[in-house]
Amino acid sequence: MAQSEKVGFVGLGIMGQPMSAHLLAAGYEVAVYDLRREAMEVAAEHGATPCASPAEVASLSDVTITMVPDSHDVVAAISGEGGVLSGIQRGSVVIDMSTIDPATGQEMAEQLRQKGAEMLDAPVTGGSVGAENASLSIFVGGDGNVFQRCLPILEVMGGSVMYMGQGGMGHTAKLANQILGVTSMIGVAEAFVLAKKAGLDLNAFCEAATQGAGDSWHLRTLGPKIIAGDFEPGFMAKHMRKDMRLASQTAISLDSPAPVTALIGQLYGALMAAGVGDEGHHAIIKVIEQMAKADARS
């Protein structure tokens, strides 16, 4: 069924490509832009309209979504040369679904308001599997009426869409969520290395641990991949390092102690130095393995 709102999508990476495909399947007209022409060609095969710039995407859209890696990428997509601001229509909305620092999101929102447009910050969690299955959890900040307007669009891509409050609260919630998730991931890595070094069967340990208080999404989903030596990314290690940097910066700005977050950021820095930033973020176990001089494979 055709939808009344026309949607734009800027950023067709490991997350953006399936997210835009869900919108097309739900009947939305979708204009797309990505720095990689081949990514736009894939989207066009699903019925999307490729554009020459984010500005052109915005000129064709009632709601424009940005899904790019970092804060500076959002700035470039929105306020850079040929950015969304150059083509935005009064009364339209930009939804930034990237994970960036809240201050940058609020700055972009103010620039959009000066053009007569609104902005929601709506970062996601769930990785590529969540994007492919339209089961992402989405944290949304911004005006409540704008949220209600855009809720049908967000629900196409997410299994859980949660309104967090005023602008910036979506980005803040995502960073806090990343702290929760990555501390669990580090726990899995340390436990697996200890268990294997002590002589435990890792498959048996992983199965047993999922039945108790140590159970977690990371253990159930990524534990078996670690044991099998499968480090294909659902969420890249380099992006987790970026998220830890943003979380630490936000904590400092709030005078909120985050010593564990800072330490985990250093561990991911070591992983980056090893040249495996494009692997899944569960590759962090390689840093623990190196320190322990032991592996954690079956």
Would you state the pLDDT for residue 298? 80
The C-alpha atoms of residue 77 and residue 10 are separated, in whole angstroms, by: 8
The C-alpha atoms of residue 157 and residue 63 are separated, in whole angstroms, by: 14
Q: Which residues of the chain have pLDDT under 70?
A: 1-2
Please say whether the beta carbons of 30 and 49 come within 8 A: yes
Sequence-ordered list of residues with C-beta below 8 angstroms from that of 133, at least 6 positions apart, any chain: 159
Query: Is 174 known to be catalytic?
Result: yes
Would you state the pLDDT for residue 26? 97
Sequence-ordered list of residues with C-beta below 8 angstroms from that of 200, at least 6 positions apart, any chain: none
Would you state the pLDDT for residue 136? 97
Would you state the pLDDT for residue 14? 93
The C-alpha atoms of residue 220 and residue 203 are separated, in whole angstroms, by: 11
- Between 2.70.70.10, 1.10.1040.10, 3.40.50.140, 3.60.40.10, what CATH number should domain 173-292 receive? 1.10.1040.10
Amino acid at 4: S
At 211, list the tokens.
């039945």
Domain boundaries, given as residue ranges, for the chain: 7-166, 173-292
The C-alpha atoms of residue 235 and residue 28 are separated, in whole angstroms, by: 27
Would you state the pLDDT for residue 1? 56
- Residue 27, classed as helix, strand or coil, is coil
Would you state the pLDDT for residue 2? 62
Would you state the pLDDT for residue 139? 98
6, 174, 197, 286: the catalytic one is: 174
- Residue 236, classed as helix, strand or coil, is strand
List, in sequence order, every beta strand (DSSP E) within the chain: 7-10, 30-33, 49-50, 63-66, 93-96, 118-121, 124-125, 136-141, 158-165
Cα 65 from chain centroid? 13
Would you state the pLDDT for residue 3? 82
pLDDT per residue as tens digits for the range 59-101: 999 999 999 999 999 999 999 999 999 999 999 999 999 999 9
The C-alpha atoms of residue 2 and residue 9 are separated, in whole angstroms, by: 17
Residue 237 β-bridge partners: none
- Between 3.60.20.10, 3.30.70.260, 3.40.50.720, 3.40.50.150, what CATH number should domain 7-166 receive? 3.40.50.720
